Amino acid sequence: MVKRKRNSIRNHSAESALFMRRTIVVFLGILLAVAVLFTNLYYLQINSFDTYKTRSNANRISVQTVPPNRGLIYDRNGVILAENRPVYSLQVIANKANDLKNDIKRLTKLLSLTDDEIEKFNKSNRYSRSFKAITIRDQLTPEEVALFTVNQHLFKGFSIQASLKRYYPFGNAFTHVLGYIAKINNRDLEKIEAKGERARYQGTHYIGKLGIEKYYEDILHGQPGQRQVEVDSWGKVIRTLSFTAPTPGKDIKLNIDINLQLKAQELLGDNRGSIILMEAKTGAILSLVSAPSYDPNLFVTGISQKKYQALLESRDRPLINRATQGRYPPASTIKPQMALLALDEKVITEETKIYDPGWWIVPNSKRRFRDWKRWGHGLVDVFHAIEQSCDTFFYDTSYKLGIDRIEPFMRLFGFGEYSGLDLAEETKAIMPSRDWKRERFNQPWYDGDTISIGIGQGYWTVTPIQLTKATAMLARRGDNIKPHILQSIISADETVTPEYDTSKKVTLASERYWNIALEAMQGVTSKRRGTAYRTFGDAPYTVAGKSGTAQVINIKEDEVYDADKISERHRDNAMFIAFAPFESPEIVATVVLENAGGGSTNAAPIARALFDEYFKAQEQVSPIPATSPADQ
């Protein structure tokens, strides 16, 4: 064979040596290649171990925040005012869906989605990350839930989420007390971030926006829990690694009495205005109504732009909480305080009498101020002046007192200050002073300004809650009081009742001065000449009150106020403040009716009706403890 021949002439040892050399070269090459592999593996497993471990965990561990249930809100009788109702919403995680556009199209057929819903969805889809759940429809009916569940397998990435939704069973009756919760928006997020509470709100969709819901957000919200789950590459949960249960928000009990609240709302009727009922001894708000109101549930589900715009632009300003944000001239309701100051400053005495011809002229001038009674009250003392609400008497008194004495004294009663009510929506209104006027108008203070202040007009404005507080302080002979809506915080094992400062705020030279002002206020309701005698003359309890009729527009010097001739919006505001019983004050009422006319004729009867209601209830369930039941 040819091959054999060739082999025979081969130099075997030379070939072997060549082969050996090549083998060694190759082996060195192999070692080099293995070194490369090793270096790379060392880099992956040792140097980058932490990185890859983290990424591996990020792959498999998914942390789900379990939002806490929001605390419930009860009235003082335990009637539920804000509750959590189960609702079902349809959600989708965009990057888990197969074909989002097509899915939505099919879903439109299945659940007959409206164009609005689709547009809303498209919008949120554009602005949210693809792995975040987007809600398509918020409140599914049981039929819709069933319909979707049957077809669930056709919609990858879509799911029905059961959740609890805030519900306010009494609708607009409590809007201005409770406020509402609504979806967390970017501004809320910023606030949450600023407070460093981002983790706490992970998984929470709603936040208190107004009223008690906002003020006590911290208590009501609770602490979220956490569920650490292991997921496979499809995002399917394999097992729960750890679970920390959320701590539900604490339930709270309000001082509000459902019956008085509803009664007050009913009494307000179609009027614009506000009613506040408060316990004189504790500052507990029994009823706080502002009308017109609106349904807070609209905001929970997400109010439509159109409806919101309507609320916003309504002439009646329903979004304003008149009880705390409505600024009204106090009118004659502050005459008792004015009298106290005058007595204390010895500007008048119990015996001082002034002749009222129906007008008053600023000394050394021609400026004339008219009394509400055109023909005048004649000779009046301080009792008469309060009972009949004589303006001339207080023109004179305030002129003598001067703004520099009036302003600080009135501040003691809380005018121009926050009342301390547990609502964030409050204005200080205006307690004017020389400095205020200079700052506001860059003008000096004129004597005429003081004269208007004397009858609670001019620059002076107050809120109903300020009036309520001031009235209570009158009843308490100068003791401070802090109006509050919250009665107690109820958690599983304890009831916390907040405490408030009730120290003496107004000290007068003589206790007798208090008697004068308060007796005069009782005269308003009990003396035949009193402005509210017609309303309270036959009351089975004793009442001290004061009416007020505030001009909304300035009436020229010799013009006569004629309700019929003036457009409705320019009519006087009717006001009435009162407390009862006179001897041992339990309850304070403030009634403000916008453009309703005279205070004694329009506002006083409402106070009467509420007092009746209050005392009737006292007899029936007597005694509802004046202080909160938690003290016992």
Partner 1 sequence: MVSTQAQKSIFYRLHIDPYLLLGLFALMSISLTVLYSVGGLDMLYRQVTRLAIALTVMIFIAQIPPEWYQRWTPAIFLVSVLLLIAVLVIGHTGKGAQRWLDLGFTKFQPSEIMKLIMPLMVAYYVSQFTMPTRFKQAFIALLIVVIPTLLIAKQPDLGTSILVASSGIFVLFLSGVSWIYIGLAVAAVLAFIPILWFFLMLDYQRGRVLTLLNPEADPLGAGYHIIQSKIAIGSGGLWGKGWMHGTQSQLEFLPERHTDFIFSVFSEEFGFVGVLLLLSIYIFLITRGLIIANQAQDAFTKLIAGSITLTFFVYVFVNIGMVSGLLPVVGVPLPIVSFGGTSIVTLLAGFGILMSIHTHKRFNIKR
Catalytic residue, chosen from 332, 433, 526, 547, is 332
Rounded (5°) CA angle 376-381-382:
110
CB-CB contact of 464 with 324 (8 Å):
yes
Residues in the chain: 632
Beta bridge partners of 284: 484
Q: From the CB of 121, what's the least distance to partner 1, in Å?
A: 23
Residue number, 9 or 560, with CB nearest to partner 1: 9
CB-CB contact of 387 with 527 (8 Å):
yes
Residues from 34 through 93 that contact partner 1 (CB under 8 A): 34, 36-38, 40-42, 44-46, 48-49, 51-53, 55-57, 59-60
Q: From the CB of 140, what's the least distance to partner 1, in Å?
A: 32
Quickly tell me which residue has 């005018």 as its tokens: 415
For residue 540, cis peptide bond before it (omega within 30 degrees of 0) = no
**Tell me, what amino acid is at 245?**
A
Q: From the CB of 128, what's the least distance to partner 1, in Å?
A: 18
Which of 355, 264, 359, 318 is CA-nearest to residue 590?
264
CA 473 to chain centre: 25
Residue number, 94 or 539, with CB nearest to partner 1: 94
Residue number, 237 or 361, with CB nearest to partner 1: 237
Residue number, 42 or 441, with CB nearest to partner 1: 42
Residue number, 55 or 85, with CB nearest to partner 1: 55
Rounded (5°) CA angle 270-81-272:
15
Which member of 108, 180, 193, 238 binds partner 1 (CB under 8 A)?
A: 238
Beta bridge partners of 73: 82, 252
Spatial CB neighbours of 47, under 8 Å, sequence gap ≥ 6: none
User: Does 332 qualify as catalytic in the annotation?
Assistant: yes
Report if residue 310 touches partner 1, rule: CB under 8 A: no
Residue number, 12 or 101, with CB nearest to partner 1: 12
* Segment interacting with partner 1 (CB under 8 A) among 29-37, 78-86, 160-168, 297-305: 29-37
Q: From the CB of 312, what's the least distance to partner 1, in Å?
A: 45
Report if residue 131 touches partner 1, rule: CB under 8 A: no
Tokens of 129: 């990350």
Give how many residues touch partner 1 by CB under 8 A: 44
Report if residue 510 touches partner 1, rule: CB under 8 A: no
Which member of 127, 187, 196, 234 binds partner 1 (CB under 8 A)?
A: 234
* Segment interacting with partner 1 (CB under 8 A) among 12-20, 149-157, 397-405, 596-604: 12-20
**Distance, CA of 330 to CA of 363 (rounded, Å):** 25
CB-CB contact of 74 with 178 (8 Å):
no
Report if residue 560 touches partner 1, rule: CB under 8 A: no
- Beta strands (DSSP E) in 474-560 are 486-490, 495-496, 544-550
Task: Report CA-CA distances (Å) from 163 to 89, 245, 250, 448, 564.
Answer: 8, 16, 18, 62, 55
CB-CB contact of 448 with 362 (8 Å):
yes
Report if residue 94 touches partner 1, rule: CB under 8 A: no
Q: From the CB of 118, what's the least distance to partner 1, in Å?
A: 27
**Distance, CA of 385 to CA of 390 (rounded, Å):** 5
Which member of 4, 8, 11, 127 binds partner 1 (CB under 8 A)?
A: 11
Task: Report CA-CA distances (Å) from 197 to 27, 132, 190, 487, 611.
Answer: 63, 20, 10, 26, 45
* Segment interacting with partner 1 (CB under 8 A) among 17-25, 169-177, 395-403, 473-481: 17-25
Q: From the CB of 158, what's the least distance to partner 1, in Å?
A: 20
Report if residue 114 touches partner 1, rule: CB under 8 A: no
The catalytic site residues sit at 332
Residues that bind partner 1 (CB under 8 A): 3, 6-7, 9-11, 14-16, 18-20, 22-23, 26-27, 30, 33-34, 36-38, 40-42, 44-46, 48-49, 51-53, 55-57, 59-60, 230-234, 238
